[in-house]
Structure 1
Amino acid sequence: MDKITTVAVIDGQGGGIGSIIIEKLKSKIPNIKILALGTNANATKSMLKAGANEGATGENAIVYNAKEADIIMGVVAILMPNSMMGELSPKMAEAIGGSHAMKILIPLSKCNIKIAIPGEYNIQQCIDSSVELVKDHISNLE
């Protein structure tokens, strides 16, 4: 692979789900660049601690980096304006949704969204599946 794939992981509140995603990505796909994009400083700090290569916080950071990423990961709510108790602004949701990056999103019941997939999956299974989707997407780019 000539170009290193850039994965932007977007999270808010405490950054817990983003941190788990980053730890899994680092262990399964070591040759990628991971950007931790937090809606707040605590989320960014947690994701950097989990192993992200770089981090940035806030609306402008997310809007700017959404167009630079090859893949965007997070919970499905990152596409919804005013989600995460209002931390995710309409501008952020628009930038993420409008980005040409592949979006690999995790369903989360507290996002008040139901994804029509058969069966019940816990958050860990969804994160594991999302990492496999990243691997598949990168393989198809080669």
Structure 2
Amino acid sequence: MVIAVIDGMGGGIGAQIVSNLREELPTYIDIYALGTNSIATSAMMKAHANKGATGENAIITSVKKANIIVAPVSVTMPNSMMGEVTSKVSEAVIESEALKILLPIIPENIELVGLENKPLALLIKDSIKLIKNEFNIK
């Protein structure tokens, strides 16, 4: 099983996701750190992802191999993350057959109505619970 974690900017969110996935899930699950820039990829690799790759083509290629994608919802929005998310990246994420677990961390000028405002740590725990339930992982 492959879980692709996508992040940009400084990679802090992705690093927290990778770290929690690594703590909670069995070691046979591969975690791919897919950064929109090298700083984000590096942060996620330091959090113990199995493999890491950077940039548009790496993300487009790697999400095809993923069973699960975990990322901020902004990866589905072209030009988000200060322009780091390209149209091709957002299209590849949406078109991937992987289960997409998207955290409601969005650009400032967009509001999603009806979402419970939870701290990042709880969003990550909810994501891991969803993965465990969806794929019957103990």
CA deviation map 1:65-103 (0-9, x unaligned): 111100000100011111100001000000000000000
2:73–2:106: 8 Å Cα contact kept in structure 1? no
Matching residue's letter, 1:27: E
Aligned to 1:134, the other structure's residue is in SS state helix
Partners of 1:59 and 1:109 in 2: how far apart?
20
1:76–1:111: 8 Å Cα contact kept in structure 2? no
For 1:14, which of 7, 10, 15 is the aligned residue?
10
1:122 Cα shift?
1.4
2:80–2:107: 8 Å Cα contact kept in structure 1? no
Aligned to 1:24, the other structure's residue is in SS state helix
Which residue is 2:83 aligned to? 86
1:112 Cα shift?
4.0
1:45-124 equivalences under 5 Å are: 45-110=42-107, 112-117=109-114, 119-124=116-121
Matching residue's letter, 2:136: S
Partners of 1:72 and 1:109 in 2: how far apart?
17
Q: How many residues align?
A: 136
Which one is further off, 25-34 or 15-24? 25-34
- TM-score normalised by the chain length of structure 2: 0.92
Identity of aligned residues (%): 46
1:7 Cα shift?
0.1
Which consecutive aligned stretches of 4+ in structure 1 deviate over 3 angstroms post-superposition? Answer: 109-119
- TM-score normalised by the chain length of structure 1: 0.90
Partners of 2:109 and 2:25 in 1: how far apart?
31
1:77–1:111: 8 Å Cα contact kept in structure 2? no
Distance 1:51 1:119, change over 3 A: same
For 2:40, which of 27, 40, 43 is the aligned residue?
43
1:111 Cα shift?
5.2
1:136 Cα shift?
1.3
CA-based RMSD of the aligned residues comes to 1.5
Which residue is 1:28 aligned to? 24
1:21–1:131: 8 Å Cα contact kept in structure 2? no
2:72–2:106: 8 Å Cα contact kept in structure 1? no
Partners of 1:29 and 1:114 in 2: how far apart?
32
Matching residue's letter, 1:71: I
Aligned to 1:30, the other structure's residue is in SS state coil
